[in-house]
Structure 1
C-alpha cells in the first residue's frame, strides 16, 4: 500500500475513533436555544392569550411578543460532540449544567419553581398594567408559604391575610419578617389574620376580607444564624376590579411579565400601542412596574428576529449583553419600567425612532 494512502487511511480511522469516543464521553454541560415567541395580543392554542371582562376592551393589532428559551433537561447527558457543536453554533449556547440546575435541582423541581414564578409574574403584570392605567388595585399581605416541620405548620395556612403582628399593622410582606425577628427564639409572636377560607370568599364577592382572629406562634431558631423564625413566607394578594385571565400553557419563569403587562394595557386602551408594528421583548416586572433582568437574552433576540420582530424591548440590566451580538434588522430598546416601555411604543408608533433609547455594549 502506498505511504500516502496508508497515511490517509490512518488519519481517517483516527478521526472516526475520536468521533466515536466523543459520542460516548459525557460532559457536565447543558444547552440553551431560541424558543417560540407568542403574541400577547393574539391567540395560543385557539384561545386569546389575554381574556379580559368587567371593563371595555379594544381591538389591538400589531405584535407584543413574549419570548422564550429552550433548555435541555436536568437528566440530559450531553456528549462531547454535541458540546463542541453547540460552542461553534451561533444560535445555541452551551453553559455549565449547574447554571440551569444548581444544587442538584431535578427537572421536576425546576418545572415547579418555574410554574410558580410564571404565576407570580402574571399577577404582577396585572397590577403593573392597572397602575399604569391609574385603575385602583386593592392589595393585602398574605401567608404565601408555610414551611414543613416549623411552628406555623397547621397553625397558619397559605392564603391567610396578615393584618398585624404583635398588634402592629403590616403594609408590606417585608414588615412581617422585621416584626418576627425582633423576638428571640422561644418567644411568642401574635398574628392577627383573616383565615384563607374567609378571605377567598370575600375576594370572590369583590369585597375586602373582614373578621379577624389571633394566632400565637412560638418562634424557633433559624438553621443559620441566631434569628427567630416562625416558618412562613409572606407575600401579596390583590383584588382586581375586573377579571384578567392569561391563557398560556407550557411556559414557565417570570420573564414574560413586561410583555403581559403591555398587552393588558393595549387591550384596555383605545387604539394600538404599536401602531401595527412587530415588537417583541422580555423582562420581569414587579407590582410597581419596575422591569428586571432575565436569562438567555441572546437566545431570545434570535427567536424574536426569526419570528419577524423589528424592535426588542430589553431590560436595562441585560442591555450590555444583548448589544454585543444583535441580529441583523432588530433594534434594541432599553427599558427599566413599564412607563419607559409605553413611551417607547409611542415613539415606535409615531415613527419617531430617533428618540428611542438603545442599548450599548459598554
Structure 2
C-alpha cells in the first residue's frame, strides 16, 4: 500500500523542488517505509538517529555530509539531533540542489521550531498521517474506524492482534517517546491525562478541570497537551467567529486523532463493545472530522461553531474566507436537522449544509441541506492531486 499513501506524488514533486524535504508524523505511521520505497535519481544514505552508531557518524557532521555531497542523505528521527539543522543550512547554501536531504521526524515543526527555523526557505514539509479514508477500500471503513489508521493496527490479522499492538504503542509512547521528545514528567500522570482526554472526546477543553482532577497546575496541563498535539496524537478544533453579534463559545474542542488509539485508551476492543458505549457518538464524530481533515488537507481551514444560545455545528470548512460547508455529524441511519444547525447555517452564511451519517445513500433533506455518507462526501471533494497535510 506504500504507493497508495496520499503524499506519494507530492513527495516526488518536493524532492524535485526543495534541497531538503521534511516528512513529519507520529511514530509507526510508515515514514521510513515510504522513503525506502521512493525512487531517487542518486544513491541514498540512511541514518537512524536513534541508533548510537549512526549518531557517531555525525560527530563531525560537516566532514561526513561533505564526503557524501553527491548522495541523498536520509536522516530519520531528526529530533534526536536538532543541532543538525544549522549544519544542513550551511551545506545547502553552498550547493543548492534539489533532493539533497530527506528529514524524518516524529515531532511537528512547532516542537522543533527553534532548530527548524534554520532551514526556512530551504525545506518543504509534508505530514504523513495514519491511513485515512482516501487510501482504503470502502468496505474497510468500519475496520478503519475501530482499529484506527496506524498500519500495524489497521493491517493486523485479527482484532486481538490490532488491540495488543495499540496497547503496546500507548505504553511505549508514554514511557519512552514523550521523554525523547523532551517531556520529562511522571508517565503515570501523562497516562491519566491522555485517558481523561479520551473520555472527553469532542468536548470543550477546560484546562482547569483537568488540572483539578490530576492535582497539577494549569500550565502543566497545557504543557502535556502541547506535546500530545505536537506529536500528532491530539487535535484541537477551534471555534469559528463570523461577524455576528452573538455570544460565542471561545474554547477549542479536543479530539484524540486516531480512533483506534481512542478506543484503546477508553478500554474498547471491538465494534460490539463500541456500539454499546456512551462514547460511540463522540468516537464517530472525531473519526469523521479526522478523515475529512486528513483527506482534504490544507485546501480548507477547519473549525466548529457554537453559540451560548444553542446554535451548533460540528465542523466548518472555510476556503478563502468563505464557509463552503457546515457539517453536522450523526451516528444514525435516520438523520434529522435540528434548529441549532439551521441557525448555524444562517449565522455562518455557509454555501451548503451537510449531514454526514452512518449510511451510504445521499439525498436532499431540506433546501440547501444534503444528507451524505462519509465515503461519498470525501470522494466528492477529493481532488485529483493529493493534499499537502
TM-score by length of 1: 0.25
Give the structure with the higher percent strand.
1
Greater C-alpha Rg: 1
Give the structure with the higher percent helix.
2
TM-score by length of 2: 0.24
